[in-house]
Amino acid sequence: MAFIAVGLVAGPLGFDIVQDRDAVDLLAKLGIAVLLFVVGLKLDVDLVRSVGRVALATGIGQVLFTSGFGFVIARLLGLEPMAALYVAVALTFSSTIIIVKLLSDKREIDSLHGRIAVGFLIVQDIVVIVVMVLLSAFAGDPGEATKDALRIAGSGIAFVAAVAVLSRFVLPWLLDRLARSPEMLMLFAITWAVALAAAGDTLGFSKEVGAFIAGVSLASTRYREALATRLVSIRDFMLLFFFLDLGAKLDVTSIGDQLPRALALSVFVLVGNPLIVLTIMGLMGYRRRTSLLAGLTVAQISEFSLIFGALGVTLGHITQQTLSLITVVGIITIGLSTYLILYSHKLYELFAGPLRIFERKHAHSERAESTTGPSRVDAIVLGLGRYGDDLAVGLSEGGMRVLGVDFDPGRVRRGLERGIDAQYGDAEDPEIASILPLARASWVVSTLPDAAVNLELMQSLEANGYAGSFAATAHDVQTADRLRAAGADLVLLPFADAAERAVERIAQAATA
């Protein structure tokens, strides 16, 4: 939003600082290409497989329902059919950049709702790519549209096949040699993205598609994370010019007229999109908490929505005023949805009661993420990170029957692979105690160092009649004292315990 504001100030309606418009336009296009390249680079096939069913159903369902309702609302607001169609489609796309950043900051990217959210974001990204291809194919004379579409489809298939062959037999070998020099690896990645973007533009299915395919072609290599991490700053810098260009072209004279429409459409995005996701996930058997936390991530429109609108202006389908409307909706929804995601847990606590209508009596889909647990449990370990996983294995080897619980389905699977009974569960969920076999457990061990989470967990266990012992984890003495005062039977201090064990081993080795 700040970049768009700078574009307004630097544009012709402000200080008119930008004189070389062609250079800014070129840099804006390069920024879009790099963005699509990074999106393709992060296309995690394993993630798609793990949450493929719900991601596909939610992603496609949300796109269909949002575009359908959005079109009706846009028409009721007085937009022409073509403008209404563009606005409706623009409302369906959510910002991958914003959502992944916020979920990562909250350490929820590997949670079940985080994985589902990223999964349907991937579906949305693929949909916008397909839409851009179709728009490019049918941009010309209607009589030639079918012929152009067939030509583009044929060239697209050949292009994807050629890139697939290169990614299978040539790129791994080439990247292994280029990786000896990090600078060469980065230069190649950028060159590859721009080259395939240019190829896509030449073949008629847009530079954005070419850049996306370039990213996908490198997504299965061992260098994907290194490239994605290093390209983030370049992506953000190049995208600056896209938003500057967008702000410079923004028709502020029509914003007053567009504001009522923008507000109405923003309310639909902020409220309607999460409700659509809540409904779909509820019907699929997910609990209302998971559905809400995932649904709140789609309460904004994306930078792709602005790119999509800009493409419509380029093709002559919509006017600059319609793009301005989409931009204003983007500014409103991006600004407000950030806080919806940041305070999603508090919002759930506030609306947990009314949200029961979106939850089936038996949330079978989340149960499918886990095992049913052992028939007898001596200890329940909450959190299967490195410390929790080793702790669960150690307790199991000591003869205790252990049930591991974690919000990351991947950690649940790893626990099962190590011989630990494990199931999905989020310790921050106020209802976590209700799904645990507390009557059969003598110990509940939390490996989470957050004092607030542990204190709330103790209250939840007590409310559900748990009569066994509770062990909490702390990273400092002050937190440990606070937990003991609240009634924790045992407080684990991993760093202090590890240091004491290290001293013992060093002393034993010295005397041996």
Q: Determine the average pLDDT of the residues in 336-340.
A: 88
Domain shared by 298 and 340, yes or no: yes
User: Among 358, 383, 414, where does a domain finish?
Assistant: 358
The amino acid present at 43, given as its one-letter code, is L
Instruction: Quick: pLDDT tens for 351-368.
Output: 888 888 887 766 555 554
Same domain flag for 203 and 322: yes
More confident residue, 480 or 130: 480
State the pLDDT at residue 471: 92
Question: Cα separation of 294 and 296, whole Å?
Answer: 6
Count Cα atoms within 13 angstroms, Cβ side, for 375.
0
- In terms of average pLDDT, the best of 60-69, 150-159, 407-416 is 60-69
Q: Average pLDDT for residues 90-112, to the nearest whole number?
A: 76
- For the full predicted model, state whether its pTM sits above 0.95: no
d(CA 453, CA 447): 11
Residue 16 lies in a domain: no
Res 146: pLDDT: 58
Q: Are 384 and 415 in contact (CB under 8 A)?
A: yes
Residue 426 Ramachandran class (φ > 0 left, ψ -120 to 50 alpha, else beta) = beta
DSSP state of 271: I
**Are 351 and 388 in a shared domain?**
no
Vertex 299 angle, CA 135 and 64, to 5°: 45
Read off the amino acid at residue 60. Answer: I
Tell me: do 277 and 325 sit in the same domain. yes
Q: Read off the CATH number of the domain in which 312 is found.
A: 1.20.1530.20
Same domain, 444 and 347: no
Domain end residue (candidates: 307, 327, 358): 358
Q: What is the mean pLDDT of the chain?
A: 80
> Does residue 164 register a pLDDT over 80?
yes
Q: Which residue has the higher pLDDT, 173 or 502?
A: 173
Which amino acid does the sequence have at 109? I
3-state SS assignment for residue 491 = strand
Check whether 318 has a pLDDT greater than 80.
Answer: yes
| pLDDT at 137 (0 to 100) | 58
Please check the confidence at residue 271 and state whether its pLDDT lies above 70.
Answer: yes
Give the angle subtended at the CA of 195 by the CAs of 192 and 198, to the nearest 5°: 150
Q: Does residue 435 share a domain with residue 291?
A: no
Choosing from 298, 327, 358, the residue where a domain stops is 358
Please tell me the predicted confidence (pLDDT) of residue 265: 93
Give the pLDDT of residue 370.
45
Q: What is the pLDDT of residue 368?
A: 47
Tell me what percent of the residues of the chain surpass a pLDDT of 70: 85
Number of neighbours of residue 192 by Cβ within 10 angstroms: 22
Kindly report the CATH number assigned to the domain that includes residue 502. 3.40.50.720
Q: Which residue range forms the structural domain that includes residue 383? A: 369-511
Residue 287 lies in a domain: yes
| Mean predicted confidence (pLDDT) in 274-284 | 89
Those residues with Cβ within 8 angstroms of residue 369's Cβ, 6 or more apart along the chain or in another chain: 112, 409, 412, 423, 424
Domain count across the chain: 2
